[in-house]
Structure 1
């Protein structure tokens, strides 16, 4: 690498020179627009970029009608941005020239060779250069980026030839959407599909190998620009996950929805761990917990992602789950109702007075019930009757969403009433979504987009409305959280010092006591006679458990006896425990016996903590017994928790209804469980550098008003295993 010009090597600089440059150089520019280097220059010029563009290529004096320069150093000015498309072995020389000439940012389209040892890859050299020079660099192996309204098409993707950006000011009733992707192919695939659905794309960024500029930093930049209602993300893994909380918080504060397709849901990355909690933690669990905390909408398919993007672009935010269906076909209405209810929406009956008013408009052989069958006759009068029904529908009490099912194969059904539809959409109090059972005419969809309307497939409609209603509830919680002053995390003065490894019973109890986690009465003694004395003091019946730093799971070692009623039983049980443990684990250090008050039966729960190397401590809650062993009914959340967070965790359990009481059982003390979760979460967050895992199993949950108690506890101190990749 050539010597660099002297530049600041401080914190990462602004992304403005990269994404909003005043001047651009295309290094490696070609006359041949069929080649990547030629197409890159051609699309930049065709996009209407307002600033000067300088081709750089030593083999030509004139490229695509522009004066060309033999090197970056020969440029007439220090440009903001260099788009670099030269051979991999030339990249570092070009970057060095950029630094000397004062270029502020670069995008590298070249990909380095595969199979190169770590530290010697092209992106490793580029990363070191970026740190040393202070230049902001996108890539290498980036497919580029676009700003459709800034006229900046800095990409070689041929997609733009076939699907050009919308003209500036097009679809003014639709909010803008941006795309940020770690895959260039997926970025432009989403772009082309969004454009087909009349979803106006403002920015698209392919981050490539992220040697310097990484995905979350791009998201932060776009949120700050306040030019998009929603940002679509295709994520393989965050390069810098510790940035996530701050970026997602700013997006939530700004009301910018983040919709993420995160690949890697498999359990292949599950880590080996000591606690039950950590064994339930797959490679993707932390991402789900982080997304849940900050309201990031996670999707599984491109169809789901684009339906949500279209709905947000159209401002179609529901205020609940209740759908009114208006259809020209009774069969289609019934099918739609089934799809809605299967997705978690409701199709309620109309209020009697509203039904009477609707019946005055609907043809006699139709139906004013929900779904409303207006029959095909309503489109025969030029749509006047349909418009009257839709206008009335917007006043229906107890309804949050309107769904109109009618064929749009003939575009004139929409174009013929476009002014009236525009006026209707201006005053709508709730989302109104169209669905065409047949393939909608292109002009019909364009006209709908012009008036701010929306057409979706039925499954996509149902999932999008359910998801956006959940997002609305998140927004309410988030705003409330921002108003509430968080209690500071201060380690209590009576909390014990922690040493690496499985904590002994005495230290574990002291730690939980300091953080006000409820536990049964107990004493730790050195031998059999001490156990008898301790049992008399804690109260009958009691449990006896082995105390050993080498035994994490006491039951498996034969180190537990339960339900002991008197001194004779305690003496015999203590002797059996010591004999079994010495036989099964002769090398284990035995420090004594734990004599614990036996708690009355309750609903068994499991509460735990595992520290994720990317996102920090995560709290786990699950129903005990077969529910967690077989059904894996467990939910996770990032620590620390508020009471609302804890209540939300409880609500997400698959078996949540069991806690409300079944077959005559009283409802459980949900409030006590939530408080216990908060206490454990605060412990985990305050000791984030010391506690790797916690397992409270079981936690006994009693009927409402009678509390919850952690009967058995395992705490592991020390650093967790690092994740090899994100």
Structure 2
């Protein structure tokens, strides 16, 4: 049993700084351990009292009858540091440092003390959580080593959800929202500064708990993504959905995150790419973490996202269609037989197309739900359902509506959400086990999140196992820039289509190359010291005469010499004009390793930034999916008479760049292919320029 596992299931817990006052940091864990049924041994440490909260107290850790598995350090400053070091020397397996004043607020002395504690723990194998942590809580075992007030306000109930967070508040806010919805939570852990054990590392243990059916993560920094990759691999084996809220999406948010726990924000699009590659579904806010939770616990196996909306309000029908459209959920086109069947049941003024407006006739005929739902259940076009009941109550047989809806959900086995703003109406549906929300927008957001995670999991399952995490150990080293000819040679060897070219060392060779290639050519100086040649007039397009080519060779030779740069020759290349210019770029992120960017190319790439990032390895279909999420997506299939683009060829090219980044022998630090000329579908693509930087 590794020491980290004792953080989740300790057999004995000591609390240094134990207090009789349950509203003090040293009093709350002791109170919780008794209140919530911890069956292990509990040792309060308080030299001033013979007992604390009715439990025998000890003067110090050295007075205990055994070495505890876990010690909660609820004393401050130097006392905290001394206690942690003593724990390590005794052989304690896990120390929870609840004290603050370390690296999160004092980057000099506090950080140094923090490192001394970590060093002491590593000598003996003791794992340290915190400092500046709220605590760990396993409601399955009653090991509530936490001082959060939330567990007094919202009594716990063991359940299938686990919440891990660096922030104390963000470990219990989702907990509280889930408990309000009647959802049980097994794990609620807040790790603070993550100086030793991080949220990511702890998640590798929590993901193995067979009782956990949904894992929610709140992250501010990601210093050890290899643990998240490991967690994701475990989760895929168990079909365990993992949802993550990563703060610091904006520049202001990144600064705030760094000041909060000393976390270093990473480039946000790389985080998106990393999560998607490993099957972790990223949400935008706290609501995104909890809104879909109930849906993940239903055991559905969704096939698509075509929605059928049913309501007794025309307005709700329209609003549901709008919300579904914004979420990329098409309204299912009902079969003629379904519409005809509904027409025989509903009043003539009702709507039998989707969304289905059953009108206020529901007030006088409580059987409408039970009559129409079986008809709709037979329609194969529907993948998911929304039932909206904006107004009901007195005069309506709401319990019957709820029972009929629950029977319908059981019959179809398809995702179903309910929108009911009236608490009494919502309660009736919730009591039937239906996921109920206050508005149709909230219901569809939850459904979208649930379907989105399932779609991500299905894509990963279809594409096979993900690669293991590859750190960028050499990312910080200064690289060696190759000249264009050397860069193009690497691309050619990898099977990347390159426009025909020759590297020439004289004007005569340039003329010979022009004649061999035929037609107008591009003439470019080749120098490893001048990677961006056009800025210095070292690129000339459409050259088509012997005199001009000879003159350009002399001019470019002189210009390069004036720049005191190396001169590697002049490239004469065939002109290539694609239907659209794209780009492919790759580099080694210092945290996440190889990353590949694909998207719109040309000279405005920095200004427009219409790109997506991918973590290799990936497939051509992954590239196409990325491109279809960009602003240029409508152009891919051709507009205004233009033919569709050969996106399959571009995707294959991008996948080869990903493979280059994974080739350890090549030691490539970065690749820049811009522009990539993409032709009409079936005609391929070609690169006209390349810039490769190799690790030193």
Map Cα deviations across residues 278-321 of structure 1 (whole Å, 9 max, x no partner). Answer: xxx98222111101212221121222222122322344664222
Pairwise CA distance, 1:428: 3.5
Instruction: Tell me, in whole angstroms, the C-alpha distance in 1 between the residues paired with 2:54 and 2:266.
Output: 56
User: Post-superposition shift, 1:544?
Assistant: 0.9
Partner of 2:523: 544
Establish whether residue 642 from structure 1 lines up as the match of residue 619 from structure 2: yes
Match of 2:548?
569
Corresponding residue to 2:38 among 49, 74, 83: 49
Q: Does 1:92 align with 2:74?
A: no
Note the alpha carbon deviations across 1:677-717, whole angstroms, 9 max, x for none. Answer: 11111111114882222111111111222211110111122
CA separation of 1:366/1:158 partners in 2, compared to 1, >3 Å: closer, same or farther? Answer: same
Q: Which residue of 2 aligns with 1:255?
A: 239
Q: Does 1:672 align with 2:649?
A: yes
CA separation of 1:299/1:118 partners in 2, compared to 1, >3 Å: closer, same or farther? farther
Contact 1:123 1:209 in 2 (8 A): no
- Find out whether 1:532 has 2:511 as its counterpart: yes
1:367 aligns with 2:348: no
SS in 2 for 1:326: strand
For the structure 1 residues 653 and 403, does the alpha-carbon distance in structure 2 shift closer, same or farther, using more than 3 Å as the test?
same
Measure the CA separation in 1 of the matches of 2:10 and 2:603.
59
Cα-to-partner distance string for 1:373-428 (whole Å, 9 max, x where unaligned) = 223443566x5432343344332221111111114775996556666655544443
2:22 aligned with 1:36: no
Deviation at 1:676, TM superposition (A): 0.7
Aligned to 1:448, which of 430, 446, 451? 430
On the 8 A contact 2:16/2:46 being kept in 1, the answer is yes
1:530-549 deviation per Cα after TM superposition (whole angstroms, max 9, x unaligned) = 21122223333221101112
The CA deviation at 1:140 is 1.3
Aligned-partner SS, 2:445: helix
**Which of 462, 477, 480 is the aligned partner of 1:480?**
462
> What does residue 389 of structure 2 align with?
406
1:587 aligned residue: 564
| Counterpart contact for 1:408–1:440, Cα < 8 Å | no
Query: Matched residues in 2 for 1:128 and 1:311: separation?
Result: 44
Decide whether aligned partners of structure 1 residues 416 and 241 sit closer, same or farther in structure 2, where only a CA change above 3 A counts. Answer: same
Cα pair distance change 1:414/1:79, threshold 3 Å: farther
Q: Verify: 1:304 aligned to 2:283, yes or no.
A: no
Q: May I ask how many residue pairs the two structures share in their alignment?
A: 676
1:683 is aligned, of 660, 664, 670, to: 660
* CA apart distance, 1:643: 3.1
Q: In structure 1, which of residues 608, 614, 618 is the aligned counterpart of residue 585 of structure 2?
A: 608
1:697 equivalenced with 2:674 (yes/no) = yes
Query: Secondary structure of the residue that 1:501 maps to in structure 2?
Result: strand
Name the SS for the 1:430 alignment partner: coil
Aligned counterpart, 1:137: 128
Computed over aligned residues only, the root mean square deviation of the Cα atoms, in angstroms, reads: 2.9
Aligned counterparts, 1:161-310, within 5 A:
161-166=152-157, 168=158, 176-266=160-250, 283-310=267-294
What does residue 330 of structure 2 align with?
346
Question: Which residue of the partner structure matches residue 261 of structure 2?
Answer: none
Give me the whole-angstrom Cα distance separating, in 1, the residues matched to 2:118 and 2:31: 29
Alignment of 1:58-69 (within 5 A): 58-69=47-58
TM-score by length of structure 1 reads 0.87
Shift of 1:450: 5.7
Contact 2:294/2:435 (8 A) holds in 1: no
Displacement of 1:239 in angstroms is 2.5
Q: Secondary structure at the match of 2:464?
A: helix
Q: What does residue 335 of structure 1 align with?
A: 319
Distance between the aligned counterparts of 2:96 and 2:465, measured in 1? 41
Query: Post-superposition shift, 1:444?
Result: 4.1
| 1:59 CA displacement | 0.8
| CA-CA distance at 1:588 after TM superposition | 2.0
Q: CA deviation at 1:204?
A: 0.8
1:397 is matched with: 380
Q: Using the alignment, how far apart are the partners of 1:300 and 1:649 within structure 2? A: 19
2:148 counterpart of 1:157: yes
Do the aligned partners of residues 14 and 289 (structure 1) sit closer, same or farther apart at CA in structure 2, a change above 3 Å counting? same
Equivalence for 1:518: 497
Query: In the alignment, which of 665, 687, 695 is matched to residue 710 of structure 1?
Result: 687
Whole-Å Cα distance in 2 between the matches of residues 672 and 461 of structure 1?
Answer: 40
- Between the aligned partners of 1:317 and 1:627, the Cα distance in structure 2 is 44
CA separation of 1:670 and 1:105: change in aligned 2, threshold 3 A: same
* Contact 1:24 1:54 survives alignment (8 Å): yes
Whole-Å Cα distance in 2 between the matches of residues 500 and 42 of structure 1?
Answer: 57
Cα separation, partners in 2 of 1:665 and 1:645, compared to 1, 3 Å: same
Separation in 2, partners of 1:22, 1:450? 39
2:576 corresponds in structure 1 to 599
Q: Assess if the C-alpha contact under 8 Å between 1:543 and 1:563 holds in 2.
A: yes
Alpha-carbon contact 2:579-2:678 (below 8 Å) kept: yes
* Residues 269 and 625 (structure 1), Cα distance of their counterparts in 2 relative to 1, 3 Å cut: farther
Gaps of 5+ in 1: 1-11, 169-174, 271-280, 490-497, 720-726
Structure 2 contact 139–185 (Cα < 8 Å) conserved? yes
CA contact (8 A) 1:198 1:446 kept: no
**DSSP-derived class of the 1:545 partner:** strand
- Is the Cα contact below 8 Å between 2:369 and 2:401 reproduced in 1? no
Q: Is the 8 A contact 1:17 1:105 kept in 2?
A: yes
1:51-130 matches, cutoff 5 A: 51-113=40-102, 114-117=105-108, 120-130=111-121
The corresponding residue for 1:558 is 537
| Superposition deviation, residue 118 in structure 1 | 6.9
User: What is the SS of the residue equivalent to 2:596?
Assistant: strand
Deviation at 1:466, TM superposition (A): 2.9
CA contact (8 A) 2:201 2:228 kept: no
Distance 1:125 1:359, change over 3 A: farther
Deviates more, 1:240-249 or 1:602-611: 240-249
Offset at residue 661 of structure 1 (A): 1.6
Partner of 1:653: 630
Change (3 A) 1:473 1:421: closer
Deviations 1:59-89 (A, max 9, x none): 1111111111111222222322222211221
**Cα distance in 2, alignment partners of residues 293 and 352 from structure 1:** 41
